Structure 1
């Protein structure tokens, strides 16, 4: 899965229609060049590829500028990528970062359910790594690897529990709720 694909689809979805410069400006203003390794070239490549794959429509109404719009297939792909990134722990932080950036696109109950799946997977990973730490003999330094996995999964589980609690108490407007930025085309026009 590509965090860039998820982010590009999400930004186009958020605005309803957006040009490449707007997509790139938003992503870079969020620091996605650092946490998701998003670069200008990867943004334009993703826009071309997503258009070729039928996830975006391109519009050349303004000379020298191409605007993009999500198709039905694009909405389905966005939802698939978002839900997978939220539910499945991955050692790469760019995927959960992309999912968090697009979190309000989901109804609250869906987000909580997906995060509970993530939590269960993290707890299982933590428990497995703990058993490996306790049962490992030779070479002894490899135990550190399992300790790292245990610690990483435990920290991820703790953070996930906290996010679930915040969502359950009503933090952050989610899709279908007042003031939610989660509806397609609902993002304010800032440029």
Structure 2
């Protein structure tokens, strides 16, 4: 549920105060049904659970029976940034967690995003070095040629992960994409979710 928690916290945080249908509509407009394992029902479940955990504040609307508005608590803001940085730093996550991190990356100040991606790159490079050594050892021990393709495939994927992360890091570091604190945005406007609240400086 971490990817769902991250996405829901990020969207509620961006709108400042909003309801479940608006969160769902916003996430569907991002195409999450194509790149994240997030079902519409899980969005409403996440809203209720996050409120129960004290990460969102739930407010019933008196003149609109059945409607509940949500806003992020200070604890929720802290959890949002923890999940976001973790999604970008750690390559062992499932693809939907990285996708959620990329979708919300502009909520970070540029320097913090660069630091997170630098950490990710370092881990990927270390993993690739180990994989190359293991691959060379397996081939030297006489692994059947067709099984060598398994090692070749794993090394190729490791190369791709390193190259993509390095390219993204360079784009972010050189000024690509607007990041938190770089432009005044208005509540409810496209992109406003990414830069609201105090800049994250940890």
What TM-score comes out, normalization by structure 2 length? 0.85
Q: Residue deviations 1:83-118, cap 9 Å, x none? A: 000011135211111001111110000000110000
Q: CA RMSD in A?
A: 1.9
| Conserved? CA contact 2:20–2:69, under 8 Å | yes
Query: CA 1:138–1:7 in structure 2 vs 1: closer, same or farther (change >3 Å)?
Result: farther
Is structure 2 residue 134 aligned with structure 1 residue 132? yes
Once the two structures are TM-superposed, the CA of residue 124 in structure 1 deviates from its matched residue by: 0.9
> What are structure 1's unaligned runs of at least 5 residues?
186-191
**Following superposition of structure 1 onto structure 2, how do residues 159-178 of structure 1 map, counting pairs within 5 Å?**
159-178=164-183
Correspondent of 2:160 among 132, 140, 155: 155
1:46 Cα deviation (Å)?
0.7
195, 198, 201: which one aligns with 1:183? 195
1:37-48 aligned at under 5 Å gives the runs 37-48=37-48
- Displacement of 1:37 in angstroms is 1.1
Q: Tell me, which stretches of 5 or more residues in structure 2 are unaligned?
A: 186-191, 198-202
Query: Which whole-Å CA distance do the structure 2 matches of 1:168 and 1:156 have between them?
Result: 18
User: What residue in structure 1 maps to residue 75 of structure 2?
Assistant: 73
Q: Write the deviation string for residues 47-68 of structure 1: whole angstroms up to 9, x where unpaired.
A: 1111111100111113221111
CA contact (8 A) 2:20 2:43 kept: yes
Distance in 1 between the 2:28 and 2:70 partners?
18
Residue 179 (structure 1) shift: 4.6
Question: Matched residues in 2 for 1:143 and 1:57: separation?
Answer: 54
Larger radius of gyration: 2
Q: TM-score, normalised by structure 1?
A: 0.89
Taking the aligned partners of 1:138 and 1:16, their CA distance within structure 2 comes to: 61
